[in-house]
Structure 1
Amino acid sequence: MIKKFFNFKTKTVTFAAGILAVSTFLNGFLGLLRDRLLASNFGAGKALDIYFAAFRIPDFIYGILIAGGIIAVFLPVFSEYYGQSKEKGWYFANIVLNCFLVLLVSLCLILLIFAPMVVEFIAPGFDKESKELTVSLTRIMLLSPIFFVLSSIFSGILHYFNHFLVYSIAPVLYNIGIILGIVAFAPLFGLRGLAYGVALGALLYLLIQIPSSVMSGFRYKAVFNFKHEGLKQVIKLLIPRIIGTAATHLNLIIITAIASTLIPGSIAIFNFSNNIQKFPAALIGLSFAAAGFPILARSWVNGQKKEFIGHFFSIFRQTLFLIVPVSIFFFILRIQGVRLVLGAGQFSRTDIELTAASVGIFAFSIFTFTLIPLLTRAFFSFQDTKTPVMIGIASIILNVVLCFLLVGFLESPNFFQYFLAKVFQLQEVKNIQLLGLPIALSLSGIFNFSLLFYLLYKKIRYFSPENSLLLKQEARETYLSTAKMLIASFFLIIFSCLVIRISANFLNLQTFLGLFFQIALSSGAGALVYIIAASLLNSSELKTIKSSVLEQFKKI
């Protein structure tokens, strides 16, 4: 039974995405539970501002090297070497594993020494005591990137052999480690207990992936060769990716720095709302992008450009089909959702209202953050890491400029401030400068997505002129499918809002169960209506998802 679990392989992209989506849902649920425990135990105040600020540097390293970076560039090169011979493939994997381990340990030691200077940059608004505690937490959490860099190589191996089940469990264990830090370590060690939980979660993330990698044929060898051509190729592909993702996480660091100068709890509120909006993006976007990347990469490398176009647009439309209704639910159920997830203990009414408003703003851009991973991996498939990096940097510059402008603009009373307060029911909240941050991030996300899609379309047409007619047909099909989704969404909104109004008459919305059932009933009714409307409109995406799931279960 255990051997079957570690050796399980998926048969289709959609089912692989389904496994990743289920795991991401579970992981997201645990993430929301984690945030609820943090909110109820600490509230949106100085303590959580310190924790989130300390988390920023380890998360920065994780983001630039591990989160899609090493896996995305390791997989095509590993595929090439493994295709030549198994021995070459495993030798290459060991070279990358060992060399990156040495680099990460060295980097983390440097950051450990210079942590006080780094914290001064991240949280300029903190007092001396808060900065010292932030330094202490940062140093503990610097263990996690070392575990993650090892995990990323094993993740690449699992991707190649379609072991998505085991890979999908790893993030779940990471969150379990953090939750243990909150409930078991924090009572003993204070805020440092949270940092111990992060390190434990990263270790569990690594350990779960080793057995499947070994079953696939991996055997560890202490080999070092910094001149290996495959390693050079990985580094060459990784450098633009590092620049792009470094800019992305530097963007979050700047947002953290700006938030540290606002009212206490601003860092926590922004992080909570950002975590909530990232849930569906990861649940749907990363699942489809991660599952689709191997087949996109193989199609392009093998010269099957027609198949590449078909696979890409099919995955794009399926992702959009799922994220459109989710975005709507996030807007119309934002207050109930935030109250359900975070409304306990030390988390105040003002904290809830500001977090809900941030989530409502993010709802308009969730589709962009969901589809950007697929678009970037499409570029990676033909080993173009520069284009998404340059676009990412441009969008980040735009975001930083907008952050400063909008936060400053919302400092004093004006029409825009009145408009936001009216739309998000914040008339009793005195300071809403914080909302400038999610607005800026949303606008820059829309810019990023639009430019990526446009340039990818142009690039495919340039490299595959013989398939220009097919490309136009797929684009038209995408526009038509989007129109059908919007029509179905119109009925979703009507029925969901109707259920919200009716359920308010018989549910006690001051209780956890009352909020849960209102969300479940309204979203369930809306989802059912959306599926029925999509079926009546003859949605090809609904048919594809249904047939893929049935096909996989038949094979099982």
Structure 2
Amino acid sequence: MIKRFFNSQTKTVTFAALLLGVSALISLFLGLIRDRLLAGTFGAGKDLDIYFAAFRIPDFVYGILIMGGVTAVFLPVFAEYFKKSEKEGWDLTNNVLNCFLLLLIFFCGILAIFTPWLIKFITPGFGPEQKALAVSLTRIMFLSPIFLGMSAVFSGLLHYFSRFLAYSLAPVFYNLGLIIGILFFLPVFGLWGLAYGVALGAFLHLFIQIPAAKISGFKYSLSFNFKYPGLMKIFKLMIPRTIGTAAYHLNLIVITAIGSTLAVGSIAVFNFANNLQSFPLSIIGASFALASFPVLSRAWVNGQKQEFLENFSSVFRQILFLIIPISVLMFLLRAQIVRLILGTGNFGWLETRLTAASLGLFCFGIFAFGSVPFLARVFYSFQNTKTPVAISLASVGLNILLCFLLVWLFSFPNLFQGFIVNVLELDGIGNIGVIGLPLALSISGIFQFGLLLFFLRKKLGHIRLREIRSSFLKIVLVSILMGVFVYLVLQALAGLVNMQTFAGILIQTMMAGLVGALVYILIARILKSPEIRTIKSSILRQFTKS
């Protein structure tokens, strides 16, 4: 039974995306429990500012060496070598695994030595005690990228062999580790217990994927050939991607630095809102991007351009079909979402309003955030890492400029500030500079989305843009109509349920969300949106014996 579980494979991109989406939903549900526990225990105060700031440097290592290296370029190179012979594929895997392990240990060790100076740079607004605590937490968290680096190699293997069920459990176990840290380590070790939970979660992320990798044919060997051609190719391909992800994570470091100079709790508010908006990104955007990557890579390697373009158009339209209405729902339900998930214990009304406003501003860029991972992987599938990296650098530069500009604009009364305050209902709050950060990210995300599409069309010529544009306009229209119905339901229920209780807010949110989903599906069916048929047929195909 266990072997059959780890050996299971998926048959279509859409079902693989749905499987990853379901697992992401479970993982994110655990993530919401984690955030609720953190919010209830600490509120949006200095302790959580320290905890989130301590994440930045280990997350930087993870981003540049793992997300920017192994995850992005390992799969297409492995596909190329495995097609030649299985032995070459497994030799490549062992060389990558061992060499990256040494690289990560060395890199994390060096950074651990210089952590005190790095923390001074990323938290200029912290006092001496806050900085000292952030240093110790960061050093413990350096275990995380080491475990996650090894896990990323196994993830690449499972992607290639379409064993998404085993892979999908990894983030679930990661969040379980973090929750264990909050519930069991925090009472014993204090704030350090949260860092131990991060390290445990990363180890579990690796551990759960090893059985499926072995079933796929992987056998470990102690190979350290740094001159292995496939390894050298991966290093060459990852350089531009690493630059791009380094810029992205430096962007987050800049945001953290700016947040440390704002009101106490600003870093926590931003991170809570960012975690909430990542819900649809992980369920839909990342799931479709991961599931489609091996299919696109194989089609390109085999010279099947027509199949490549058909898969691109289909997956892109499905992402938009699902993520745009969800972003509309999240904007309309932003206050309810924050109150239900975070509104407990020490998380006060001021923090609730600021987090809800930040979430609302994130919603304007969710369609772009959800599409960018897929669009970038389209480039990666034909081993072009330079174009998306250059675009990423441009968007990061724009975002940093916008962060400083918008935080400044929200620091004093003006027409723009007054407009945003009225729309997001922030009257009476003195320091609202933190909401400039999500607005900057949304604008730069849309900029990145547009550039990726432009250069993809320039690279491939025909990308079936007419059918994509037609679906996009139809999806936006249906989402707006859905939003009108949701708003009316919210207003009607506000006078019927007790909005001061958890049960009342939950009833209002669930009813409005249910009505919105039904209206969206009904109108989409009336307009004969092809995305509904694609999703339905993919699910049926998965459970139909060939």
* TM-score after normalising by structure 1: 0.97
- Separation (CA, whole Å) in 2 of partners of 1:235 and 1:516: 50
Task: Give runs of aligned pairs for residues 135-534 of structure 1, distance below 5 A.
Answer: 135-461=135-461, 468=462, 471=463, 474-534=464-524
Pairwise CA distance, 1:415? 1.2
Is the 2:68–2:242 Cα contact (8 Å) retained in structure 1?
Answer: no
Preserved CA contact (<8 Å) 2:16 2:291: yes
Corresponding letter in the other structure for 1:508: N
Aligned-partner Cα distance in 2 for 1:8–1:510:
47
Q: Distance in 2 between matches of 1:156 and 1:23?
A: 17
Distance 2:65 2:482 in 1: 40
Which residue of structure 1 aligns with residue 42 of structure 2?
A: 42
Aligned residues: 546
- 1:465 aligned residue: none
Cα contact 2:317–2:531 (8 A) shared by 1: yes
TM-superposed CA distance for 1:443, in Å, is 0.7
Deviation, 1:4, is 1.3
Decide which moves more: 489-498 or 403-412: 489-498
Percent same amino acid at aligned positions? 58
Instruction: Find the counterpart in structure 1 of residue 545 from structure 2.
Output: 555
**1:529-540 aligned within 5 A:** 529-540=519-530
Show the counterpart of 1:464. none
Q: What is the distance in 2 between the residues matched to 1:553 and 1:213?
A: 24
Post-superposition CA distance 1:221-278 (Å, at most 9, x none): 0111000000000011111111000100000000000000000000000111111111
- Measure the CA separation in 1 of the matches of 2:442 and 2:483: 22
Give the residue type in structure 1 aligned to 2:474.
K
User: 1:447 is aligned with what amino acid?
Assistant: F
The DSSP-based 3-state class of the residue aligned with 2:543 is helix
Deviation at 1:516, TM superposition (A): 1.9
CA distance in 2, matches of 1:65, 1:272: 25
Which residue identity lines up with residue 193 of structure 2 in the other structure? G
Which is worse superposed, 26-35 or 493-502? Answer: 493-502
- 1:519 Cα offset (Å): 1.4
Matched, 1:15 2:15: yes
What RMSD in Å do the two structures reach over aligned CA positions? 1.1
Q: In the alignment, what sits opposite 1:121?
A: 121
> What SS does the corresponding residue of 1:251 show, helix, strand or coil?
helix
Q: Deviations over 1:468-527 (max 9, x none)?
A: 4xx4xx211111112221222233112212221222233222222222222111111111
1:66 corresponds to: 66
Q: Which sits farther off after the overlay, 230-239 or 499-508?
A: 499-508
* Amino acid in the other structure paired with 1:129: E
1:353 is aligned with what amino acid?
R
Superposed CA deviations along residues 366-407 of structure 1, whole A, max 9, x for unmatched, are: 000000001000000111100111110111111111111111
CA distance in 2, matches of 1:65, 1:370: 22
Give me the whole-angstrom Cα distance separating, in 2, the residues matched to 1:497 and 1:526: 9
Report the Cα distance in structure 1 between the residues aligned to 2:274 and 2:420, rounded to whole angstroms.
Answer: 18
Letter in 2 for 1:550: L
Which runs of no fewer than 5 residues in structure 1 stay unpaired?
462-467
CA contact (8 A) 2:68 2:241 kept: no
Contact 2:372 2:449 in 1 (8 A): yes
Which whole-Å deviations, capped at 9, do the CAs of 1:103-152 have from their partners, x for residues lacking one? Answer: 00000110111110110111011000000000000000000100001001
Partner residue in 2 for 1:542: 532
Post-superposition offset of 1:68: 6.3
For residues 492 and 319 of structure 2, what CA distance do their matches in structure 1 show?
A: 31
Q: Distance in 1 between matches of 2:503 and 2:62?
A: 37
- TM-superposed CA distance for 1:67, in Å, is 3.0
